[in-house]
Chains A and B, each alone.
Chain A
């Protein structure tokens, strides 16, 4: 009966977090009811649900816009961040030349940069993706570079002993060695992407959950604003899990017991 025991194990794994969430929402609902908290301060979970479902086609459109921005910015941070890390790790000179610039870019407050970027890049999807990228790319570069440079000396000596070229050492030894590091950077970038997308939508957008949240607050529609916020959390969790699943599916060997997933 291996099938049944597998199902039971799944249930045993899923039960504690499910129970936690149920308890959380029940406690929330009860406190709102019995403490008589006004809806504009903290709406009950039920009110949030109905407010969101009432305009579900609208909500779906805004969610799709946000997901597009999040994925665009996240993919850009991976596709640009990893090659930059390879450059940094391959040459000490490049590392010293580029690092200060990267730290400067990272230090600029993105919320302040957003309006300027909109002026420069126009009111369309591009500045939103650029802002999301700018918020998310830094941990990808840092952890990828760390992983590339953490390759043990003996492993590189082995590569040299079989006459691996510098490029072969980088791509066949150092890059695979860095895979667990790359994924921990990507996981941080995944959640940061959602923050980046919301920041961008606050500043310049006519769609997206960030825009919906802002306009709902303007109309004192607190339940809908909370609905948008919860949906943003769900998107963040999904993008994070997508990264974790990708790692488990394609890089099984790199997943360690204590990994967050």
Chain B
């Protein structure tokens, strides 16, 4: 097997709350993510999945254990990572195009290819006609698409997404996941998608990690064997149903057996 692009080894993480008590956000996380895999991390709130993503991004320093990116320890943010946040997080004083170009400007990589790359991505995301608009003039879904373009403009090897569609309504959300699927199939990358939508996770990914809360830990690591290319009707396939049931079982299973025992 080839070397994994991202490797997490014995990762523990805890933080202090305002009243001074320690909360264990992550306990003993070991994980390997091969290049160009689409990985989804599912779990209820408080299972440490956002913390996990920020550790991979180098936004949080690892307290225990290590995060390896191509074999090197990730202790600070790196330019081969793109991060998509829950809110579009666009800069309201820049046009959509300027927003997408912003990472290149900050990194000092604004060559002649930069503009072409940004325009290419905007076209891919269906935003070509909106590049001169201000973020405030666009809908939430369009803003989030622009944010995805912005995370991809410097052609990072890894795309990290923290509940990117969490703030959108259900219909826009489904449309956006198909959009993401399309962008990803044209530009394969290693993706780590944090979400609490089980169907979204199954629909998009090669592999789903199920996490449980208090302390945040891995409950299951499931391959998703639905053939690609996928479209929205793959939700009715047996493989899809089986995968979602399996994930549901890992998330709710312990609770259901608890109720069963109580009866």
Partners in one complex: yes
Interface positions of A (Cβ within 8 A of B): 152, 154-155, 157-164, 168, 172-173, 176-177, 179, 251, 253-254
B contact face: mostly helix, strand, loop, or mixed: loop
Interface flags for B31-45 (1: CB within 8 Å of A; 0: not) read: 000000000000000
Q: Identify the closest chain B residue to A164 (Cβ).
A: B106
Contact yes or no, A176 B91, CB < 8 A = yes
* Complex Cα–Cα for A131 and B76 (A): 48
Q: Identify the closest chain B residue to A179 (Cβ).
A: B93
Binds A, one of B12-20, B82-90, B208-216, B225-233: B82-90
Interface positions of B (Cβ within 8 A of A): 54, 57, 59, 76-79, 81, 83, 85-87, 89, 91-93, 102-103, 106-107, 134, 136, 154
* Complex Cα–Cα for A254 and B93 (A): 7
Residue among B59, B78, B93, B134 with the highest chain A CB neighbour number at 10 A:
B93
Residue among B81, B103, B106 with the highest chain A CB neighbour number at 10 A:
B106
* Complex Cα–Cα for A168 and B59 (A): 17
Out of B83, B87, B136, which one reaches A161, CB within 8 Å?
Answer: B83
* Complex Cα–Cα for A168 and B102 (A): 11
Contact yes or no, B79 A157, CB < 8 A = no
* Complex Cα–Cα for A251 and B136 (A): 14
A-B contact pairs, 7 of them (CB 8 A): A154-B86, A158-B83, A160-B59, A162-B103, A162-B107, A162-B154, A179-B93
* Complex Cα–Cα for A234 and B111 (A): 51
Contact yes or no, B85 A162, CB < 8 A = no
Tell whether A163 pairs with B92 under 8 Å between CB atoms, given A168-B106, A253-B134.
no
| Chain A residues positioned under 8 Å from B81 (CB to CB) | 161
| Chain A residues positioned under 8 Å from B91 (CB to CB) | 155, 173, 176-177
Given contacts A162-B79, A162-B106, 9 further A-B contacts (CB under 8 A): A154-B87, A154-B89, A160-B59, A161-B59, A161-B81, A162-B102, A251-B93, A253-B92, A253-B93
Contact yes or no, B93 A176, CB < 8 A = yes
Lowest 6 A-B CB distances belong to which pairs? A162-B103, A161-B83, A176-B93, A164-B106, A161-B77, A154-B85
Contact yes or no, A163 B85, CB < 8 A = no
Report A176 CB to chain B, min CB distance, Å: 5
Contact yes or no, A155 B79, CB < 8 A = no
Tell whether A157 pairs with B85 under 8 Å between CB atoms, given A163-B79, A173-B91.
yes
Q: Identify the closest chain A residue to B137 (Cβ).
A: A253
Report A251 CB to chain B, min CB distance, Å: 7
Tell whether A158 pairs with B78 under 8 Å between CB atoms, given A163-B107, A173-B91, A253-B93.
no
| Chain B residues positioned under 8 Å from A173 (CB to CB) | 91
* Complex Cα–Cα for A148 and B78 (A): 25
| Chain B residues positioned under 8 Å from A155 (CB to CB) | 89, 91
Out of B85, B106, B154, which one reaches A172, CB within 8 Å?
Answer: B106
Contact yes or no, A163 B77, CB < 8 A = yes
Report A153 CB to chain B, min CB distance, Å: 10
| Chain A residues positioned under 8 Å from B54 (CB to CB) | 157
Q: Identify the closest chain A residue to B86 (Cβ).
A: A154
Contact yes or no, A163 B78, CB < 8 A = yes
Out of A162, A168, A251, A254, which one reaches B77, CB within 8 Å?
Answer: A162
| Chain A residues positioned under 8 Å from B76 (CB to CB) | 163
Report A154 CB to chain B, min CB distance, Å: 5
Q: Identify the closest chain B residue to A158 (Cβ).
A: B89
Q: Identify the closest chain A residue to B93 (Cβ).
A: A176
Contact yes or no, A158 B106, CB < 8 A = no
| Chain B residues positioned under 8 Å from A158 (CB to CB) | 83, 85, 89
Report A253 CB to chain B, min CB distance, Å: 5
Report A240 CB to chain B, min CB distance, Å: 23
* Complex Cα–Cα for A52 and B90 (A): 54
Report A152 CB to chain B, min CB distance, Å: 8
Q: Identify the closest chain B residue to A161 (Cβ).
A: B83
Contact yes or no, B134 A157, CB < 8 A = no
Report A218 CB to chain B, min CB distance, Å: 52
* Complex Cα–Cα for A3 and B181 (A): 48
Report A254 CB to chain B, min CB distance, Å: 7
* Complex Cα–Cα for A158 and B76 (A): 13
| Chain B residues positioned under 8 Å from A168 (CB to CB) | 106
* Complex Cα–Cα for A93 and B79 (A): 31
Report B72 CB to chain A, min CB distance, Å: 15
* Complex Cα–Cα for A160 and B57 (A): 10
Residue among A152, A160, A161 with the highest chain B CB neighbour number at 10 A:
A161
| Chain A residues positioned under 8 Å from B78 (CB to CB) | 163
